[in-house]
Amino acid sequence: MLAKAPVPGKVKTRLCPPANPAQAARIAAAAFLDTLDAVLAMPDVTPVVALTGDLAQAIDAEALTERLRATMVIPQRGTTLGQRIAAAYADTAAVVGDRPVLQIGMDTPQVDTKLLSHCLDLLGSEGVDAALGAATDGGWWVLGVRRPELAGLIADIPTSLPDTGARTLSALRASGCRLIELPELSDVDTWDDAVAVAAEVPDGRFAGAVASAAATLERRR
C-alpha cells in the first residue's frame, strides 16, 4: 500500500475548497484507516505500507500508528510518484520474496476485502504476469505484478494525467507482459469525488469524515 501521512496542508489539497486543510487531512486519515482495515482482513498476505510524510504531525496519528503496527512500514524513495511506485514494488519484493505483489493507494476507501482478494486471485491466475485496475479519471487505482521488475516499466510514466492508465497499459503490453484488467473504481481527488465515494460506503470512517466536513460547511453558509 502506498500512503502519505495525513498532515493538514500536505495531503488531499484538491479537496480545498470547499474543505479546509484540516478537514481534507481528516478525510485522508479516514480513507487510510478504512483501506488498512480492508487490507489487514485479507488472509495469507503480508501487508506492507510504503509511507511518506511525518506521521507524528498527522491527523489521527495515534489511531494510524496503532493500526500500522500490524503491517511492515517502509519509507518511500524516489523523486517522482512513478519512481516511488516502482521502488515500493522492489522494496516490498525484498520483504515478501517470490510472491505476487498487489499495490493500492489510500485514494479508494470503498475497497473491501472481498474485492482485494478477487484482484489477488486474478493476479495469481495461470498465465498472468500483471493486473491493472483503471480509475475513472484516467489513472489507475491498483496494479499487481508477479515480478517487481515489471513495475519498473512504469517508473517514468507521468502520473495524474487523463491518459496515465492508458500509458501504463501500453507500457506493460509492449513488454510482452500477459495482462489482466481489474474492475474500474473512482478514486478520491476532488470534493465531488469524496461525496460520491462516501455514498458508496456510508458506514465507514471515510463517509463519516466527509459528512462531518459537509455539515460544517453547511453551517457556515
Q: Is residue 82 part of a domain?
A: yes
The CATH code of the domain that includes 95 is 3.90.550.10
- Beta-carbon contacts of 6 under 8 Å, excluding residues fewer than 6 positions away, are 12, 25, 26, 28, 29, 32, 53, 58, 59, 60, 64
* Sheet containing 72-75, strands listed edge to edge, beginning at the edge strand earlier in sequence: 2-4, 48-52, 72-75
Q: What was the pLDDT predicted at 106?
A: 94
Tell me which residue range forms the domain holding 42: 2-188
Q: Is residue 213 part of a domain?
A: no
Q: What was the pLDDT predicted at 151?
A: 81
Q: Is residue 54 part of a domain?
A: yes
38-77 per-position pLDDT tens digit: 999 999 999 999 999 999 999 999 999 999 999 999 999 9
Q: Is residue 42 part of a domain?
A: yes
Q: Is residue 151 part of a domain?
A: yes
Split into its structural domains, the chain has a count of 1
Q: What was the pLDDT predicted at 149?
A: 80
103-158 per-position pLDDT tens digit: 999 999 999 999 999 999 999 888 899 999 999 999 999 999 988 788 888 888 88
Q: What was the pLDDT predicted at 25?
A: 97
HSE, CB side, 13 Å, CA atoms: give it for residue 127. 1
